[in-house]
Amino acid sequence: MTGLSPGHIFSRIRGEFEQLGILGAQISLVYGGVTYRVSCDEQTFLVYRVNEVGRSRHHVPGWPVVLVSPDVLFEEGGSEALAEDHYACNLTIDTWLELISRHCRGL
């Protein structure tokens, strides 16, 4: 989705969530042994990394790794400084959409 405005990217994401029937819902995904909460509504798409109890105290209780709205585009892996953090999630928005689709379709 490189080169597109936040509004175009958000519109595509919202459309994917509508197609999957999960617009406005929150789902949990596990990727690489880490739990993420994912949601999209009429205003925002958010992927939030959950720092589960008993694990590292780094960023308690968790932190957003992707945030997209009509005006904002943030990807943790897209930030040079944040991407170097050993806890950083380097998945792209396209990869997240693939994982969400597979999860919802039971693949």
- Give tens-digit pLDDT for 11-34: 999 999 999 999 999 999 999 888
Classify residue 70: in a domain, yes or no: yes
53 strand-pairing partners: none
What does residue 73 show for φ and ψ, rounded to 5 degrees? -135, 115
What does residue 97 show for φ and ψ, rounded to 5 degrees? -65, -40
Q: Which domain holds residue 10?
A: 6-105
- How many domains does the structure of the chain reveal? 1
Classify residue 20: in a domain, yes or no: yes
Classify residue 1: in a domain, yes or no: no
What pLDDT, in 10s, does the model give residues 38-53?
Answer: 999 999 999 999 987 6
Please report, as a single letter, which amino acid is at residue 100.
Answer: I
> Is the peptide bond between 64 and the residue preceding it cis, with omega within 30 degrees of 0?
no
pTM for the full predicted model = 0.84
